[in-house]
Structures are given as C-alpha cells and as structure tokens.
C-alpha cells in the first residue's frame, strides 16, 4: 500500500531492514521503526498544530506502543498519548509517557477505575452514566476531580462495527449536568469518532457527520454554561488534516498512522510532509511450487480503503531488492504465512529478507517491534555499525528476550 512511497521517500529504511535482518541483528516478524523519520514526522505535526492552535495526543497502538518510539515523539514535542484501551494505558505508563486521554474507544471496565485514576489522565471519555458513577467514586478515593469528555452520538452518525455508543445529542445538556453533578467529575469536553474519513472519489480526507455532531454538542454545552475546553476530533489525522479540523472547531486531535506516514492521505497526495517510518520485516521460510512462503505471525493490514494489491520487497542484498505480489489468507484465517508469487522463477531463496510497508495495527498481532536510529540517505548503504538498533518488544510493548 505504501511501498512505492517508501522507495521514493525513505529507501534507507528498507535497506537497513534487509541489512540488519541478513546479519541476524533483526529477526523475522518484526516491525522496524525509523526513529529519525518518526522524529521528523512528529516535528512537522507539532509545527502545523501550533499554527492552528491544536493540541496533540499520540495514538500509539498502530506501532505497538514501542517505548523508543514514544520517547522519540516526546522529544519532538508530542509528550502525551491517547490510550484506546487499558492495555495501551499500561504500556504507555511503562514507557514513561504521560497519559493524555483514556476511555475512547474502550471504556474502563469494572475493577479498573482506581488504576485509571492512578494514571492521572488529562481526560477520561465516558459513554454512560453508570460508568461515570464508578469513575467518580474512584476520583473521590484518589482525592482529585477528573476532567471528563462525553462521547456524544447523533442520530445520523456512522460508526465502524463495534465502535458505536455514547450520550445522545438530543439530551446532551441533561447528560452533561448528570455527569458533572457526580462527585469527583467535571465535564471538560466532548468527543466522537470518526470525525475525519477518507473519500476515495475526491482523493481527500473530509469531516464526517460525526464531526458536525461533535461541534454542535460543544456549542450547546457552552451555551448551557459548561466550560468546554476540549473538542476532541480523532480519525485519519495527520499534518495535512489539521487546518480542516481546526476550522471545524477541534481543539485536540490524535495522530496515529499519520505519525509514520501511513494514512489514506499519504496514498492520495505525495506532497504530504510525513514519510513512511515503519516496515514489517520477515523472511522466506520455504518454497512450494513457484510460491515463497513468508513468516506472517505479525501480519495485519488495516484496510481502511478496502482491498488493494499488496506487494513486498524481497532479497538478501539491500541494494538489489525485487518487488513481488503478495497473497494472503482470507479474512478471519490464521496468518501463519503470506505467499510471494512467481518466487522460484525469479530466484528467491530460503532465508531471503522480505519487507512490507502497509498501514499497521501492531497491537492486534503476534508481531514484535524494534526501533532504529541513524538511517540517513547519505549513509544508508554504509555499514550496519552506524545504525543504533534498540530493544525488542511485543505488540503490547513488553520486553522480549527470546526468539519467538
């Protein structure tokens, strides 16, 4: 999906991946993060956000909440993370990153409330008054008043399956008063998702009906006397969407795939400032007929634009890689392997490196993550000793010491 853009804008990452893999410094089934590119991407976003008065929370699930990546983002100016679930919250805390936002999309479950408050999030999103009561009780026990975002839902809003829920727009003032009246809680803003979505027809990313619901809710709550300091508008976010999000009324946005240059906008528009900063690295396990079978425990492509032709680079020489069409198992199947077509005929061998560049969601895979610094166009063909390869983590950012 992003292989062409990788080859055009960050070929050093592919070369480094193959070199490190062939030297066995990098194992198959690893997502390799380019810290130099990630820092540059984040810096571009920080500058653009400042131009439009936006605050940023980093969405880290896509890159597996890798601690080295989180620290790099903080160095670039994005020092708070949004945690889509409690596993993400714990991973972010282990990395020493501050929690900006928790509860969206996954609500705090029973028994987790004290841990959520102990994380000292800037805001907690709530969908329901019963969950609000539990969070309020935990806030009282913690001796603090917790700022709350109301997840608001309009009658014409659209959601991905499993993402719906929230306080109805029609009764938002009543709901806000109810939540704000709970000891330990203060309504500070609203959120919804997705507020931005890709439009293939116009090759752009546009505000959704959900965004309009969000802005209406914020306006109505301000009119009702609530101090609304956060209008949180996540969804397909990158530097190229900030102007539109700010114009519509957002105060906070949450770049995820945008941080490593893998949003639909980066496919539509080659002039976007972020470049690909993550690749999935694997190797050829064996050949059967003309197909090469590639280890794929960590494979997962977020098909936000639907099905498309997937390709990968394969070879053992970083300066002589060939591109192959990739065949994958059907949706719902276990991804033990992917297949490269026409592999034997084109000289593929067991042990060759395979490099993918797609839109990842590492946190739902069995893949590892590892970060590297020191990739530059002027020395990408130099010795691997110039590269600073960091530690290995699983998809939930726990250190990995074995080979699996």
Residue 125 lies in a domain: yes
Whole-number mean pLDDT of the chain?
96
Same domain, 249 and 301: no
Residue 61 lies in a domain: no
Same domain, 21 and 94: no
* Residue 14 in this model has a pLDDT that exceeds 90: yes
Same domain, 204 and 287: no
Query: In the prediction, which pLDDT does 332 show?
Result: 78
Same domain, 191 and 313: no
Residue 379 lies in domain:
3-33+273-390
Same domain, 216 and 334: no
Q: Which two tokens stand for residue 22?
A: 């062939």
Residue 68 lies in a domain: no
Query: In the prediction, which pLDDT does 385 show?
Result: 47
| Tens of pLDDT, residues 20-58 | 999 999 999 999 999 999 999 999 999 999 999 999 999
Q: Which two tokens stand for residue 103?
A: 């509860």
Same domain, 204 and 350: no
Closest CA relative to residue 33, chosen from 275, 235, 266: 275
Match 């959704």 to its residue by tokens.
208
Q: Which two tokens stand for residue 204?
A: 């752009």
Same domain, 283 and 337: yes
| Tens of pLDDT, residues 63-91 | 999 999 999 999 999 999 999 999 999 99
Same domain, 281 and 323: yes
Question: Which one-letter DSSP state was computed for residue 303?
Answer: -
* Residue 152 in this model has a pLDDT that exceeds 80: yes
- Across 287-298, average pLDDT: 97
Residue 375 lies in a domain: yes
Question: Which one-letter DSSP state was computed for residue 149?
Answer: E
Same domain, 227 and 286: no
pLDDT bracket for residue 380 (50, 70, 90)? very low
254, 288, 306 - which closes a domain = 254
Same domain, 281 and 248: no
Same domain, 231 and 196: yes
Q: Which residue would you say has higher pLDDT here, 331 or 358?
A: 358
- Across 300-306, average pLDDT: 75
Assign residue 351 the CATH number of its domain: 2.40.37.30
Same domain, 163 and 88: yes
Reported pTM:
0.96
pLDDT bracket for residue 301 (50, 70, 90)? confident
């Amino acid at each position: 999906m992003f292989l062409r853009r990788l080859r055009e804008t960050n070929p050093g990452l592919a070369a480094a991946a193959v070199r490190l893999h062939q030297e066995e410094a990098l194992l198959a089934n690893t997502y390799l993060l380019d810290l130099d590119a990630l820092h540059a991407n984040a810096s571009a976003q920080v500058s653009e956000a400042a131009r439009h008065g936006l605050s940023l929370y980093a969405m880290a699930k896509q890159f597996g909440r890798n601690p080295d990546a989180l620290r790099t983002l903080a160095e670039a100016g994005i020092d708070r993370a949004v945690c889509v679930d409690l596993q993400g919250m714990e991973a972010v805390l282990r990395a020493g990153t501050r929690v900006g936002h928790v509860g969206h999309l996954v609500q705090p479950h029973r028994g987790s409330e004290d841990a959520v408050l102990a994380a000292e999030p800037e805001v907690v999103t709530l969908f329901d008054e019963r969950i609000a009561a539990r969070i309020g009780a935990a806030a009282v026990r913690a001796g603090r008043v917790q700022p709350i975002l109301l997840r608001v839902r309009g009658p014409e809003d659209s959601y991905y399956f499993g993402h719906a829920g929230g306080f109805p727009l029609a009764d938002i003032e009543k709901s806000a008063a109810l939540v704000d009246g709970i000891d330990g809680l203060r309504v500070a803003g609203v959120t919804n998702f997705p507020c931005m979505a890709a439009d293939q027809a116009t090759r752009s990313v546009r505000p959704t009906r959900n965004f309009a619901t969000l802005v209406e809710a914020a306006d109505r709550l301000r009119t009702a006397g609530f101090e609304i300091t956060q209008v949180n508008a996540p969804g397909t976010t990158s530097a190229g969407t900030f102007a539109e999000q700010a114009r519509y009324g957002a105060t906070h946005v949450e770049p995820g795939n945008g941080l490593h240059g893998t949003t639909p906008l980066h496919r539509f528009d080659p002039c976007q400032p972020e470049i690909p900063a993550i690749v999935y690295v694997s190797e050829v396990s064996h050949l059967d007929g003309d197909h090469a079978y590639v280890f794929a425990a960590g494979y997962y492509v977020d098909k936000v634009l639907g099905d498309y032709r997937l390709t990968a680079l394969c070879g053992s020489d970083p300066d002589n890689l060939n591109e192959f069409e990739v065949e994958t198992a059907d949706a719902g199947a276990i991804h033990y392997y992917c297949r490269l077509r026409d592999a034997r005929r084109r000289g593929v061998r067991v042990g060759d490196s395979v490099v993918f560049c797609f839109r990842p969601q590492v946190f739902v895979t069995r893949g590892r993550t590892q970060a590297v610094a020191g990739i530059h166009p002027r020395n990408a063909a130099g010795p691997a000793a110039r590269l600073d390869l960091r530690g290995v983590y699983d998809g939930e950012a726990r250190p990995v010491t074995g080979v699996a």
